[in-house]
Chains A and B, each alone.
Chain A
Amino acid sequence: MNSAHSPAMIELSQVTKFYGEGEGEVRALRGIDLRIEAGEFVAVMGPSGSGKSTCMNILGCLDTPTSGHYRFLGVPVGEMSADQRALLRRNYLGFVFQGFNLLSRTTALENVELPLVYRGLPAAERHVRAKKALLEVGLTGRESHVPSQLSGGQQQRVAIARAIVSQPRVLFADEPTGNLDSATSVEIMKLLTALNEQRGITIVMVTHEPDIAAWTHRVVKFRDGLIENDEVVRRSESAVRSL
């Protein structure tokens, strides 16, 4: 890695996050240092209340730290306004949620187009790019299906297509397989692995399940608002990424 020459994709230094005041104060993050390089596939683990969700929210620019610094591609995020963070999300980040978060009664194609709508792309170009993204997640032919007509795995594929349609630098996945059976989970993990390996998208994924974490090559474990363990692991299946 050439971290000395170019800024890391993600860099947290001494990040804290406190909620509330006085007696009821909750210290969700108590000083986190984390550096994630471009192209990494990182699993974030830890029991509930360990601070991993708070950390993900900060990484995803949905929340700001109480103290400490977050640099995204070297740019400090902490000083950004809500609108600037929205622009950062719009142009550089993709999100995949446990509950898919697709717009109901809205076709798969329209769901995938959503981020492009906010980028102000013309309808024709949105269609082309959304179709391409659906092709990439293996859902060609389902463009006009609404979420209720799709299986859980298919819905998550639509959500992944929505996340990658704007060609983000980082994809944040919050328990992407949490609502899926194990066979479907494997399919989704294969898809994420492919996106990471072929498109070079950096992926940060929260998970509870060790099998799912085993698909990644770095596991960061949270406990009580601190990083307890950060280790590079070998993938359980097939290819080992050449570092």
Chain B
Amino acid sequence: MFLNALLLALREIRRNVLRSSLTILGIVIGVASVITMVTIGEGATAQVQADMQKLGTNLLQVFRGQGWGGGGGARTASPPFTLDDVRAIEQEISGIRAVAPSASTGAQAIYGNTNWSTQVTGTSDKYLEVRDWTLANGRNFSESELRSGAAVCILGDSVKQELFGSQDPVGANIRLQRLSCQVIGVLTAKGQSGFGQNQDDIVLVPLRMLQRRLVGNSDVNNIMVSARDAASTEKVQQDIERLMRERRKIRDGAEDDFNVRDLQEITSAFTNSSRVLTALLSAVAAVSLVVGGVGIMNIMLVSVTERTREIGTRLAVGAMARDVLLQFLVEAVTLAAFGGIIGIILGLAAGILANNAFNVPYVFNPGIILVSFAFSAAVGIVFGYFPARRAAQLDPIEALRHE
């Protein structure tokens, strides 16, 4: 019986393709937008998480200046860190894996007749460990190179590509500004950060070398600390804050002139906000699904009126009221389900395209597909019931006489 109703419904849908397509358009758009929104949202969330992971695990960064943005003025107003601060953190704080100082400047890197404007970061051999980074080639800085500030450097993948192409740069000499500098290693590619920066556009040099020969001061702009595990980051953060207040002689009650950022915090903030945004957009899209349902009800009501004589004929040849009810209900649900399927396909396609365009990964989520499908079928039942009941309640004599 049910199969019969389904066949009848399919026949009816085929009988009027244009009307059927217009009927389901609302559902198609509704489902497609929900799926697209969710796909983009989940991709963005996954991207944020992956990006944060790339920066390093359980990474804490100690910056000069106040608050999140800090601003140039505030930052320069507060005194820089020193290598002693780095050593103090290393020795006095428990629960940390590695600490690395960092100071940066922009510089021209030149090899042969190619030159490339990049970011030169002075740091220690701990930098790789803190950032969870590995060498594709070559070696890390040695103790003596760090102590003496030797003119050696490790290239980021982009810099290596720009200057050397497919050649092996290890052992070659490049110039940073006017300074000749030997390449001792190449970093593996890390890709873009969550903030859209190319992390591979970097040249690492010993901190002392940068301070003496490139910038001419002994400032440490920030300190990167890798906590041993996620659970201890909060405690480590508090300990560092206490230690730095002490070392920088900040009176009780006065505000910090530095701040310690926990990437975990940023990650969850980003993840949460992108989840909220996804939910919000999906809710807006879901409203269009309901509007689509109203569209189905409209057309079904028109269809019942238009097919009154047909209904009369069906009743005359022996259809029961419930046969007619089932027919129209199945027709509405079938239409809605068709709309759902087309919407899912379009939504996935649009989502994948958008994710490609925004450069975020595509995350397959079977749950949302099932939910969308079930929801559109439910819309069909809810909005199809009223017209179907109206059809089933028709008086056969009146229906047969209807023009």
Contacts and interface: CB of A to CB of B under 8 A. Distances in A.
Interface of A: 57, 60, 62-63, 82-83, 86-87, 89-91, 93, 95, 97, 99, 101-106, 110, 114-115, 117-120, 162, 166
B249 interface: no
Contacts of A95: 316-317
B310 interface: yes
B318 A86 contact: yes
Interface string B199-230: 00000000000000000000000000000000
A214 B318 CA distance: 30
Interface in B315-339: 315-323
A112 B317 CA distance: 10
Contacts of A91: 318
Interface in B9-38: 11, 15-16
A97 B309 CA distance: 11
Given A101-B309, A101-B312, A117-B4, A90 B15 contact: no
Given A110-B11, A117-B4, A103 B317 contact: no
Contacts of B316: 60, 62, 89, 95, 101
Contacts of B320: 82-83, 86-87, 118
A89 B397 contact: no
Contacts of B4: 117, 120
16 contacts: A62-B315, A82-B321, A83-B321, A90-B317, A95-B316, A101-B309, A101-B310, A101-B316, A101-B400, A103-B310, A104-B15, A106-B11, A114-B313, A118-B314, A118-B317, A166-B317
B8 interface: yes
Contact of B317 (A83, A105, A110, A115): A115
A57 B397 contact: yes
A117 B321 contact: no
Nearest to B313: A101
Contact of B8 (A57, A101, A117, A166): A117
Given A91-B318, A101-B310, A104-B15, 13 more contacts: A60-B316, A83-B320, A86-B318, A86-B320, A86-B321, A89-B318, A101-B313, A103-B310, A118-B317, A118-B323, A119-B318, A120-B1, A166-B318
Given A57-B397, A62-B396, A114 B15 contact: no
The 3 closest A-B pairs by CB, nearest first: A90-B318, A115-B317, A86-B320
Nearest to B307: A103
Contacts of B310: 101, 103-104
- B-side binding surface: helix, strand, loop or mixed? helix
A118 B318 contact: yes
Nearest to A54: B397
A106 B320 CA distance: 21
Contacts of B322: 83
A60 B1 CA distance: 25
Contact of A103 (B313, B321, B323, B396): B313
A220 to B, nearest CB: 20
Contacts of B309: 99, 101
Nearest to B8: A117
A102 to B, nearest CB: 8
Nearest to B1: A120
Interface of B: 1, 4, 8, 11, 15-16, 309-310, 312-323, 396-397, 400
Contacts of A103: 310, 313
A135 to B, nearest CB: 20
A87 to B, nearest CB: 7
Given A97-B400, A106-B11, A118 B312 contact: no
Contacts of B400: 62, 97, 101
A119 B11 CA distance: 18
A62 B314 contact: no
Nearest to A90: B318
Could you say which of A87, A91, A103, A104 has the most chain B C-beta atoms within 10 Å of its C-beta?
A103
A60 B15 CA distance: 30
Contact of A89 (B11, B15, B317, B321): B317
A154 to B, nearest CB: 18
A168 to B, nearest CB: 10
A101 B396 CA distance: 13
Contacts of A162: 317
Contacts of A102: 313
A144 B22 CA distance: 27
Contacts of A101: 309-310, 312-313, 316, 400
A105 B15 CA distance: 6
A86 B397 contact: no
A115 B321 CA distance: 15
Contacts of B1: 120
Contacts of B319: 86, 90, 118
B250 to A, nearest CB: 85
Given A106-B11, A106-B15, A120-B4, A114 B317 contact: yes
A105 B11 CA distance: 10
Contacts of A57: 397
Nearest to A82: B321
B397 A63 contact: yes
B241 to A, nearest CB: 78
Contact of B397 (A62, A90, A166): A62
A223 B293 CA distance: 52
A181 B316 CA distance: 26
A231 to B, nearest CB: 28
A132 B290 CA distance: 47
A93 B315 CA distance: 12
A95 B315 CA distance: 11
A55 to B, nearest CB: 12
A123 B385 CA distance: 28
Contacts of A104: 15, 310
Interface centre among B16, B310, B315, B396 (most CB of A within 10 A): B396
Contacts of B312: 101
